[in-house]
Amino acid sequence: MPSQLFTPPSSTADVPTIRLPDPERIFLDRAERFDALAKDHSLGEWLAFMGRLSRAQHQALQEMTDAELPDAESLERARIHRMPPLSTASFPRPSTWRDALGRIIELVNDDAPEGLRETLSTLMVTSSEGLEKLADQLLSGEPDKNDLPRLPLIAAALQVLFTRLAVQLDATRLPPMEARSICPVCGNLPVASIIRADGPVENLRYAHCTLCNTEWNAPRATCLLCGDDEKLALHEIDGDDGIARAESCESCNSYLKIIYQGKNAHVDPVADDLASIALDMLVDEAGFERAGPNLLLIGAGGE
Ligand SMILES: [Zn+2]
Ligand SMILES: [Zn+2]
């Protein structure tokens, strides 16, 4: 059973603590959301490309075969010790992500923005060792400045692999984390949180993993990083659609966006996060730092 901390204050006992992504829909829904957001947006061209990238991720995910999970004993050990079973810090990542990368590049290459062409061709001739090093850089959160332009593509391929891995797990056998900011599957940080408006999870808040697309239940009006529930403030851009807000915490100086599905049924934490960069600027200026990165924006100054 979920721990006390993670049991939502609701009479419905069957509310999932952890929601694994739907491999048939996750990247396709994201692509459609990017398409919609790209219309009449000052960053429209870039968002439209992100839509094509998400579609390529969808294709690569459909073509990827199941990856090898840790054995049952290791999974159980992770559960008992409340450790993410596929922690990117220790889990040896299967090399299939590099095939996904090749496929993604192939799919987006033809209509990639001018500025990205060179990055794509560089990636195509990067050795396997070179690619693994780039992946390590991205996941350690300490990227080399010269490699920044290549990292969003590396991230896109790793998202495909870790989404494939996540959906092979049994959500009811995953450990709720002591730290609410940590993904219970891969140990990464949330890209944003979302107040769901669909079915049994209505009005519940879920944090959305920046890497594997797993969502875990998180209490509302509580800082995910430090647990404070008193020094919080909500920020929004005056006059916008109210879909994205930032919840800042003065105790730890972090902020996490909240995406409201009630305002639009088709929101996606990754896409709506990228479309609301103006909100990041506002909150950054007020002195707060993002609680977790958007891996597709590493290198574009969004981290
Ligand atoms: Zn994750
Ligand atoms: Zn805090």
pLDDT band at 13 (very low <50, low <70, confident <90, very high): low
Query: What per-residue confidence (pLDDT) applies to 199?
Result: 81
CA of 214 to the centre of ligand 1 (A): 5
Q: What is the pLDDT of residues 28-51, one digit of tens each?
A: 999 999 999 999 999 999 999 999
CA of 124 to the centre of ligand 1 (A): 27
CA of 211 to the centre of ligand 1 (A): 5
Q: What is the pLDDT of residues 80-133, one digit of tens each?
A: 999 999 999 999 999 999 999 999 999 999 989 988 999 999 999 999 999 999
For the cut 80, the answer to whether the pLDDT of residue 1 exceeds it is no
Q: Which ligand lies nearest the alpha carbon of 250? A: 2
- Residue ranges and CATH numbers for the domains of the chain are 19-172 (3.90.1670.10), 176-297 (3.90.1670.10)
Contact, 157 vs 97, CB < 8 A? Answer: yes
CA of 38 to the centre of ligand 2 (A): 32
Q: What is the pLDDT of residues 201-260, one digit of tens each?
A: 899 999 999 999 999 999 999 999 999 999 999 999 998 899 999 999 999 999 999 999
Q: Which ligand lies nearest the alpha carbon of 248? A: 2
Query: What per-residue confidence (pLDDT) applies to 210?
Result: 98
Contact, 205 vs 193, CB < 8 A? Answer: yes
Q: Which ligand lies nearest the alpha carbon of 233? A: 2
Query: What per-residue confidence (pLDDT) applies to 299?
Result: 56
CA of 139 to the centre of ligand 2 (A): 23
CA of 84 to the centre of ligand 1 (A): 8
pLDDT band at 23 (very low <50, low <70, confident <90, very high): very high
For the cut 50, the answer to whether the pLDDT of residue 301 exceeds it is no
Q: How far apart are the first and last CA of the chain?
A: 35
Q: Which residues contact 152 (CB under 8 A, 6 or more apart)?
A: 295, 296, 297, 298, 299, 300
Contact, 147 vs 134, CB < 8 A? Answer: yes
Query: What per-residue confidence (pLDDT) applies to 28?
Result: 98
Query: What per-residue confidence (pLDDT) applies to 161?
Result: 98
Q: What is the pLDDT of residues 150-189, one digit of tens each?
A: 999 999 999 999 999 999 999 999 987 888 999 999 999 9
CA atoms within 13 A on the CB side of 50: 28
Query: What per-residue confidence (pLDDT) applies to 298?
Result: 77
Q: What is the pLDDT of residues 46-55, one digit of tens each?
A: 999 999 999 9
CA of 187 to the centre of ligand 1 (A): 6
Query: One-letter amino acid identity for 302?
Result: G
Contact, 21 vs 163, CB < 8 A? Answer: yes
Q: Degrees (nearest 5) of the Cα angle 166, 168, 171?
A: 70
Q: Whole-angstrom Cα distance, residue 92 to residue 50?
A: 28
pLDDT band at 5 (very low <50, low <70, confident <90, very high): very low
CA of 228 to the centre of ligand 2 (A): 5
CA of 46 to the centre of ligand 2 (A): 32
Contact, 151 vs 296, CB < 8 A? Answer: no
| Residue 4: count of CB within 10 angstroms of its CB | 7
